[in-house]
Chains A and B, each alone.
Chain A
Amino acid sequence: MAAMAAFFKKLGANRYALPVLLAVGFVLSLVIPQYGLLNGYVQFVLIMIGINIILSASLNLVNGYMGEFSVGHAGFMSLGAYASAVLTVKLLPDLPDAFFFLPVIVGGLVAALAGFLLALLSFKTRGDYLAIITLAFLMIVKSALENIPYVGGPRGMLGIPKLTTMAWAFFWVVVTIWVLRNLLYSKFGRAIAAIREDEIAANSMGVRVREAKILAFSVSAFFAGVAGALLAHLLVFINPSSFDILKSTEMLVMVYLGGIGSLAGSILGAVIYTLLSNWLQDFGTWRMVIMPLILVLLMLFRPKGIMGFRELPWFLPKREARRKDS
């Protein structure tokens, strides 16, 4: 064990390891489906892990790094899923597979617009009341989609082309982590850390609280929309009730299990959660008892999660990594 830990520590500290691993991962994500190296179910689980990493990392931006509490992430996700599915099913049915990034980006932008508006409107509220507003947002999106016949109403949308491949999932995971890492260690990242520690103090020290919050919500919503778009084109079927409060709870489990305020934690949480939830598939509805129970036990015994505010050197910019070493 100790040897393995030492190996991982060395690997983590080596800055050339990351680009090499990324290249290997991308090649594998192209080769595996091409030659059927893994069976379909394993490939499906791997893509789900990717989607869940995008979700947990983006939710971590608001719930972990900024210290607010949003339960509306499933709402952003459903907006992304529906917007992209409308594009690929109704508006651009002949889209070549290589242009799949287009509907995904549109889905992300629609979700980001909703996040922007929500943050703009709810600026005066914080804490419990912000949680309530995000909850109301989730419910409004769900019942609004149920009342739009164009997207199938409560029955949902069928016949979405299966465009999400391992390579696309891998690509979007890398983009998400890269963008979030660069944002978190910029001026904006310092601002949201200051807001987390004390919003009023941050405001009086000259942090533009309103702008930082709006940006954090928009970016977080964008990636939730991206994840929704990927999910829609993986499952080839979506309906409004698949993006309910339980979906948001799943994301909360991932974030708080892996660790708040940590990208490595988000990845870890998503991997553990996806594997666990597939393993618990046989338990039927009891699975939905076990998942929230894990969340409660985590809050009682380890509220910051496994990685809580710690980071692997890979996810730190060079400057930060040097500062931590010395």
Chain B
Amino acid sequence: MDYFAQQAINAIQQGSIYALIALGYSMVYGVLTMINFAHGDLFMVGAFACLLIASFFPLPFIVILILVMLATGFLGALLERLAYRPLRNAPRVSAIITALGCGLVIENVVLSLSPYAKPMPPLFTVTGYHIGGLSVSTLQLMIIGVSIALMLGLDFLIRRTSFGMAMRAISFDAKTVPLLGIPLNRIISVTFLIGAGLGGAAGMLYGQAYPVIAASMGILVGWKAFVAAVVGGIGSIRGAVLGGYILGTVEVMTVAFLPSTYRDLVAYSLLLVILIFKPYGLLGKAPNQKV
């Protein structure tokens, strides 16, 4: 039983990181109905940005977190401005291919600049607590706490502010909303900024939890988070969080009870099975189809 409870804590930690990244996929899909395949690589850039900042300026954790979020956020917004905006009225396939290409460009630029995996220095001293038979570290509490705080902040932003209302309106009807005087381009840029910022924060937290970072983590972890977003129903904010925790649980339990090499197999099979039975994810809605 203790073993199970211990794995549950690990699952929440893993799920929090997946949920943070999945939010970025879902937000972009909500406003643009486009899959930002480059988002996983923005997550990876977040980890590297953290490494760069932390190795030159010994700043407190929270300051580094804000700087990392700003850096990846602006990279995300720049990507939208340069690569996705010119294609907004192009066929959907063009946009997906461009996103896929942009992700590979980012990944391989980082790979070329840093061919080997890099160790990540800890940003604060980690102490472990033992409660009953369970052990919890400050690092785990920090990861879970920061993720939940960011998700609550996002929820507030989307539900209670005029920006959030504009964002929800655009995902409801992107054709009519600009006619009502809402600056479409600005809202989309800010959406990318926030989504990529959350991904960057997840990259930093992931780098603290597993302190070896490499260019390939964008595909290994970022794409897993994409699975989470799709399982939850891409475009749905709450679906992304739900999907993140489901995937975190499934992965941790797979590793706990099966050989660890089965992790990806189980994760992607879960995606395939859910898409076959619920083609738009657990909380997603089917789009209207007209001739």
Contact = CB atoms under 8 A, between A and B. Distances in A.
Interface residues of B, number: 47
Contacts of B159: none
B104 interface: yes
A125 interface: yes
Nearest to A245: B219
A281 to B, nearest CB: 15
Interface string A131-158: 1110111011011101100000010000
A295 B87 CA distance: 14
A284 interface: yes
A128 B35 contact: yes
A209 to B, nearest CB: 13
B101 to A, nearest CB: 4
A201 interface: yes
A285 B275 CA distance: 35
Given A129-B280, A136-B272, A139-B264, A292 B96 contact: no
Contacts of A296: 83, 98, 101-102, 105
Contacts of B92: 127-128
Contacts of B87: 299-300
Contact of A289 (B34, B108, B289): B108
Q: A122, A144, A296 — which one has the most chain B CB atoms within 10 A of its CB?
A: A296
Interface stretch (B109-117, B121-129, B141-149): B109-117
Contacts of A131: 35, 96
B83 A300 contact: yes
Contacts of B91: 303
B230 A132 contact: yes
Contacts of B94: 299, 303
A256 to B, nearest CB: 7
A285 B97 contact: no
B112 to A, nearest CB: 4
A269 interface: no
Interface in B209-223: 219, 223
A299 B115 contact: no
Interface in A268-296: 284-286, 288-289, 291-293, 295-296
A140 B272 contact: yes
A128 B280 CA distance: 10
A246 B264 contact: no
A59 interface: no
Interface in B130-155: none
B97 A132 contact: no
A146 B261 CA distance: 8
A69 interface: yes
Given A125-B279, A285-B111, A289-B112, A300 B104 contact: no
Contacts of B83: 296, 300
A160 interface: no
Contact of B97 (A69, A129, A139): A69
B172 interface: no
A128 B115 CA distance: 32
Contact of A200 (B35, B223, B261, B291): B291
Contacts of A200: 289-291
A69 B93 CA distance: 7
Contacts of A324: none
B17 to A, nearest CB: 19
Contacts of A288: 104, 108, 111
B114 to A, nearest CB: 10
B265 interface: yes
B1 interface: no
B275 to A, nearest CB: 6
B4 interface: no
B107 to A, nearest CB: 8
Contact of A293 (B33, B97, B105): B105
Interface string A37-57: 000000000000000000000
Given A286-B108, A288-B108, A293-B105, 13 more contacts: A125-B275, A131-B96, A137-B272, A147-B261, A201-B291, A245-B104, A292-B101, A292-B103, A295-B101, A299-B87, A300-B83, A300-B86, A300-B87
For the complex of A and B, the 10 pairs showing the least CB-CB separation, nearest first, are A292-B104, A296-B101, A292-B101, A295-B101, A288-B108, A143-B264, A143-B265, A139-B268, A285-B112, A289-B108
Interface of B: 33-35, 83, 86-87, 90-98, 100-105, 108-109, 111-112, 115, 219, 223, 227, 230, 234, 259, 261-262, 264-265, 268-269, 271-272, 275-276, 279-280, 289-291
8 contacts: A67-B93, A122-B275, A129-B275, A129-B279, A136-B227, A143-B268, A292-B105, A296-B102
